[in-house]
Chains A and B, each alone.
Chain A
């Protein structure tokens, strides 16, 4: 969730729309995929191969690779290090 939304202020206009698993997600300019998804209430970005457990953002700064998603067909891109672009197609892994 957004800071401003919780503090009862008007949220800055969402001005980037991208796609996650075929659904449109609103983001703000300068958002990363991770910050936009968390703001939209999505916690789990993928399921693990072996145990099938959900994973999301952990380190938030590009170290742990737990938040990886597929971006425009490229697998295992760190959501926390990748800025959203209009029309970007993100798939969870």
Chain B
């Protein structure tokens, strides 16, 4: 069935999926070059996660560092050539048809959009880890907790513990403390020895280091202890989070026996870096490779951010974990190249514009890779997982089931899915995929990429029945 048979198909030069730093930067460059652009985003306001608006009056006036995301958003929005850019919020992409057509879902209706070029800048989400008790209400991802505070002025809890790795935990802790939560501690699993050794490369990035120091001093003022080489190993409670077990971890992040201490908390926020959103790039059948440093399976792309399909570009976190700065500059490169490939820019003009972006991109990329290598999750993080620990939240599959299935036979992720239904729930393996691969890799001693990845299928996110029913209504010609 062709999309035309279902609903009218709109048309644009360049479709951009994601209105975060990368998507908006791509839209700015492409529209400046003269292309018509449609930017699609699932959220209610453009900006993505990094530039999420702050709840008015929720906290003290943001300082120099905290004002940065809003300044970036204003700058990117002001760069858009408004006549040529349409930003569609609350619009999810749930499928892709042959002939460069995206299937959209917006306001309860199904729509189709044909593009000549596509930029996928779908962002990333917190990388979760399984541990006993992590399905209890009151366990949040760090990014989810920050979104609640920043976006809606709602605290995840009164007494909050943060656990994970990477610099992102610090601004989340500051947001929570500033909003009035008692942040019991920030647990950073990485050992300081790793930092000092790696940071010798960081002299070119004094501004970024300064940002981390800003957060650390803010946390010291708020009396929030930052404990290095520690992690949460279990969460307990009757129907909700009541206490958490903190352990010291060794260099491989294995819990140190006898170091357990129990703290009373009503919320635990975890974040071990991020995972790139690659559902759409995988659905499009693009070539991917496993890059353990930049978040796992990422679409292969060249220096112009062009993927294995010549009409598709990637930018930002979808192209591999980086930072907001990496996202902006990669978005610019993708926007320039997409507009150039449609003839909106001459070869020389495109080269001049991209040439101005590249040094900034490279510098940001270098620092992001340094951070990613310092804070990369280590295999011991799976050690607290018991047979009873749920690894697939949707289908409620436990580590014990997983161990039994792979005990005599080595399965890859599609094999495990067939045997246990892992990854067949509503999240389509977004949460459990890397957990299962990482857990099995640490148990069996294989490399994580050998387990492959779950296949994706449309709809990427469920489309309400009402919207599907409306498709036949639209066919009647009442819309469009």
Residues of A within 8 A of B (CB): 1-4, 6-7, 9, 12, 28, 30-32, 34-36, 38-39, 43-45, 48-51, 53-66, 68, 74, 76-77, 80-81, 83
From residue 448 to 475 of chain B, which have CB atoms closer than 8 A to chain A? Answer: 461-462, 464-466
CB distance from A78 to the nearest CB of B (A): 8
From residue 91 to 147 of chain B, which have CB atoms closer than 8 A to chain A? Answer: 125-126, 128, 135-141, 143-145, 147
Contact A6 B155 (CB under 8 A): yes
CB distance from B171 to the nearest CB of A (A): 15
Contact B151 A35 (CB under 8 A): yes
Q: Which residue of B lies closest to A73 (CB)?
A: B466
Complex Cα distance A44/B425, Å?
Answer: 19
Of the candidates B42, B140, B151, B465, the one whose C-beta lies within 8 Å of that of A58 is B140
Complex Cα distance A9/B58, Å?
Answer: 10
Contacts of A58 in B (CB 8 A): 128, 135, 139-141, 144, 393, 431
Contacts of A77 in B (CB 8 A): 464
Contact A74 B59 (CB under 8 A): no
Contacts of A1 in B (CB 8 A): 154-155, 158
Contact A12 B57 (CB under 8 A): yes
26 examples of A-B residue contacts, CB within 8 angstroms: A3-B55, A3-B154, A3-B155, A6-B180, A9-B57, A30-B152, A34-B148, A35-B148, A36-B154, A38-B154, A38-B155, A39-B154, A43-B239, A50-B395, A54-B137, A56-B137, A57-B148, A57-B156, A58-B144, A58-B393, A59-B126, A59-B143, A60-B141, A64-B427, A66-B135, A80-B144
Complex Cα distance A63/B427, Å?
Answer: 6
Complex Cα distance A74/B135, Å?
Answer: 24
Interface residue tally on B, bucketed by range: 35 or more
Contact B147 A60 (CB under 8 A): yes
Contact B431 A63 (CB under 8 A): yes
Contacts of B42 in A (CB 8 A): 62, 81
CB distance from A24 to the nearest CB of B (A): 18
Q: Which residue of B lies closest to A71 (CB)?
A: B464
Contact A51 B393 (CB under 8 A): no
- Is B218's beta carbon under 8 Å from chain A? no
Contacts of B139 in A (CB 8 A): 58
Contact B137 A43 (CB under 8 A): yes
Contacts of B427 in A (CB 8 A): 63-66
- Is B387's beta carbon under 8 Å from chain A? no
Of the candidates A3, A32, A60, the one whose C-beta lies within 8 Å of that of B58 is A3
Contact B426 A2 (CB under 8 A): no
Of the candidates B59, B145, B393, the one whose C-beta lies within 8 Å of that of A60 is B145
Complex Cα distance A49/B397, Å?
Answer: 12
Complex Cα distance A32/B239, Å?
Answer: 23
Of the candidates A2, A39, A55, the one whose C-beta lies within 8 Å of that of B137 is A55
Contacts of A49 in B (CB 8 A): 396
Complex Cα distance A1/B307, Å?
Answer: 45
Complex Cα distance A52/B6, Å?
Answer: 39
From residue 34 to 71 of chain B, which have CB atoms closer than 8 A to chain A? Answer: 42-44, 49, 55, 57-59
Q: Which residue of A lies closest to B149 (CB)?
A: A3
Contacts of A64 in B (CB 8 A): 393, 427, 430-431
From residue 431 to 454 of chain B, which have CB atoms closer than 8 A to chain A? Answer: 431
Contact B158 A61 (CB under 8 A): no
Of the candidates B59, B425, B430, B431, the one whose C-beta lies within 8 Å of that of A3 is B59
Contact A76 B426 (CB under 8 A): yes
Complex Cα distance A1/B181, Å?
Answer: 10
Given A43-B138, A74-B464; A59-B180 close (CB under 8 Å): no
Contact B59 A61 (CB under 8 A): no
Given A7-B180, A64-B427; A44-B239 close (CB under 8 Å): yes
Contact B154 A61 (CB under 8 A): no
Complex Cα distance A29/B401, Å?
Answer: 44
Q: Which residue of A lies closest to B144 (CB)?
A: A60
From residue 389 to 430 of chain B, which have CB atoms closer than 8 A to chain A? Answer: 393-396, 425-427, 430
CB distance from A16 to the nearest CB of B (A): 12
Complex Cα distance A77/B465, Å?
Answer: 11
CB distance from A31 to the nearest CB of B (A): 6
Contact B153 A3 (CB under 8 A): yes
Contacts of B144 in A (CB 8 A): 57-61, 80
Given A2-B153, A3-B58, A61-B49; A55-B135 close (CB under 8 Å): yes
Contacts of A35 in B (CB 8 A): 148, 151-154
Complex Cα distance A65/B424, Å?
Answer: 12
- Is B179's beta carbon under 8 Å from chain A? yes
CB distance from A75 to the nearest CB of B (A): 8
Complex Cα distance A83/B90, Å?
Answer: 10
Complex Cα distance A63/B325, Å?
Answer: 24
CB distance from B437 to the nearest CB of A (A): 17
Given A2-B153, A55-B137, A74-B466; A60-B143 close (CB under 8 Å): yes
Contact B148 A60 (CB under 8 A): yes
Contacts of B158 in A (CB 8 A): 1, 6
Mark contacts of B318-359 with chain A using CB atoms, 8 A cut-off: 1 yes-contact digit, 0 otherwise: 000000000000000000000000000000000000000000
Complex Cα distance A35/B144, Å?
Answer: 11
Contacts of B227 in A (CB 8 A): none
